[in-house]
Amino acid sequence: MSLETLNGIMIFILGLIFGSFYNVVGYRLPNNMSIVFPQSHCPNCNHKLKFYELIPVLSYIFLLGRCKVCKKRISFSYPFFEIVTGVLFLISYVQFGLSLKFFISITFISILIIISISDIRYYIIPDEVLIIGSILLIIEFITNSYINNLGFINGVLIKILNGLGSFAILYLFKVFGDTVFQKESLGGGDIKLLFIIGLVLGFDMSIVAIFIASFIALPLSIISLIKNDNNILPFGPYLSIAATIILLCNLNLDMILQFFIK
Ligand SMILES: [Zn+2]
C-alpha cells in the first residue's frame, strides 16, 4: 500500500471520529449543555453508551440503528454526518495533500458541519463555533503567510477585509429583505457565517456561494410554500454546501464567467 493510500485511510477514519464529536457539539452547544458532561446517552431511556456503542458508523450498523436497551430508533443524522466529515476530510487531502491548505480546508469544513447540524435541528448557528472557527482560520492564515512569505497585508489583512465585505453585503441583503417582506428574511447567524466564507473563499466567491445556496434552497422553499407548513428553512446548511463545493472544486470567478459566456 502506498503512503498516500495509507494517509488517505487514516484521514478518512480521523474524519469519522471528528464527525462523531461534531454531532455532540452541534446538538449540545445550542442547548447550553456541556460538550464533555454528561457522557453520551440515549435521549429516550438515558442508557449510558459504552465505548463499543460510540464507534463512528460501525456502532450504528451493529446496533441496527436502535438503542441497545430501549430499542428506540437512533437518528440517521449521526452516522450521516460522520460519513460526510470523513469523506470531506478525504477529498481535502486528495485536493491539497498534507499542506497548510489542507488544514485550512478541514477547519473550514468542520465549522460548516457543526453549524449545519445545529441549524437543521434548532435553527441556531452558535456564535461560539463562528468565533473559535474564525480565530483558528486567522491563525492558519498568519502561519501560511509567514511560511510562504506573503506578508501580513496580502496573507491576512486582505482576507479579513474580504470576510468583512461579505458580511456587509449579506447584511444589506437582510435589511432589504426585511423591508420588502416585512419580516425577518435572514437570520443573524447566516450573516455572521458569511464572514468566515468570505475569509476563506474571498469576497467574489462568497457572493457566488449565496447564489448557489439560494439556487439549491429555492425548490425546497417552493415546496414548503405550497404545503404551507410555515417552516422556516435554515439557510446555513445551503450556504455550507455551496461553500464546500466552491472550496473542494477550486472554483473561481473566471471559471464561472467562462461557463456562462460560452
Ligand atoms: Zn434507549
Indicate the average pLDDT of the chain: 92
User: For residues 53 and 63, is the Cβ–Cβ distance under 8 A?
Assistant: yes
**What's the pLDDT score for residue 186?**
79
Distance of CA 12 from the midpoint of ligand 1 (Å): 29
Where b means 16+ CB within 10 Å and e means fewer, 38-61 reads eeeebeeeeeebeeebeebbebbe
Q: What is the pLDDT of residues 169-199, one digit of tens each?
A: 999 988 988 888 777 777 889 999 999 999 9
Higher model confidence: residue 48 or residue 221? 48
pTM for the full model?
0.93
Whether 111 is in a domain gets the answer no
Return the amino acid letter for 28: R
**What's the pLDDT score for residue 199?**
97
Could you give the number of structural domains in the chain? 2
Residue with the three cell numbers 410555515: 230
Distance of CA 48 from the midpoint of ligand 1 (Å): 9
**What's the pLDDT score for residue 230?**
61
**What's the pLDDT score for residue 229?**
65
For residues 262 and 165, membership in a common domain is answered with yes
Distance of CA 40 from the midpoint of ligand 1 (Å): 11
**What's the pLDDT score for residue 115?**
96
For residue 18, what are the contacts with CB-CB under 8 A and spacing of at least 6?
85, 89, 110
**What's the pLDDT score for residue 173?**
86
Distance of CA 32 from the midpoint of ligand 1 (Å): 22
Measure the CA–CA gap between 214 and 208, rounded to whole angstroms. 10
Return the amino acid letter for 259: F
For residues 135 and 59, membership in a common domain is answered with no
Whether 116 is in a domain gets the answer no
Q: What is the pLDDT of residues 228-248, one digit of tens each?
A: 666 667 889 999 999 999 999
Give ion ligand 1 contacts, CB < 5 A: 42, 44-45, 47, 67, 69-70, 72
Distance of CA 53 from the midpoint of ligand 1 (Å): 12
For residue 77, what are the contacts with CB-CB under 8 A and spacing of at least 6?
23, 117, 120
User: For residues 244 and 109, is the Cβ–Cβ distance under 8 A?
Assistant: yes
Percent residues over pLDDT 70 in the chain:
98
Whether 228 is in a domain gets the answer yes
Measure the CA–CA gap between 156 and 136, rounded to whole angstroms. 13
For residues 131 and 61, membership in a common domain is answered with no
Distance of CA 26 from the midpoint of ligand 1 (Å): 20
Distance of CA 17 from the midpoint of ligand 1 (Å): 22
Whether 106 is in a domain gets the answer no
- At residue 59, does pLDDT exceed 70? yes
For residues 94 and 135, membership in a common domain is answered with no
Q: What is the pLDDT of residues 1-19, one digit of tens each?
A: 899 999 999 999 999 999 9
**What's the pLDDT score for residue 231?**
63
- At residue 225, does pLDDT exceed 80? no
For residues 261 and 142, membership in a common domain is answered with yes
Give residue 35's pLDDT band: very low, low, confident or very high (50, 70, 90): confident
Distance of CA 52 from the midpoint of ligand 1 (Å): 15
Whether 87 is in a domain gets the answer yes
Distance of CA 67 from the midpoint of ligand 1 (Å): 5
Distance of CA 63 from the midpoint of ligand 1 (Å): 11
**What's the pLDDT score for residue 22?**
96
Measure the CA–CA gap between 190 and 234, rounded to whole angstroms. 9
Q: What is the pLDDT of residues 102-160, one digit of tens each?
A: 999 999 999 999 999 999 999 999 999 999 999 999 999 999 999 999 999 989 999 99
**What's the pLDDT score for residue 101?**
94
For residues 35 and 147, membership in a common domain is answered with no
**What's the pLDDT score for residue 108?**
98
**What's the pLDDT score for residue 260?**
82
Distance of CA 30 from the midpoint of ligand 1 (Å): 23
For residues 143 and 258, membership in a common domain is answered with yes
Domain that holds residue 7: 1-98
For residue 95, what are the contacts with CB-CB under 8 A and spacing of at least 6?
102, 105, 248, 250
**What's the pLDDT score for residue 180?**
84
Distance of CA 75 from the midpoint of ligand 1 (Å): 12
Whether 14 is in a domain gets the answer yes
Distance of CA 117 from the midpoint of ligand 1 (Å): 22
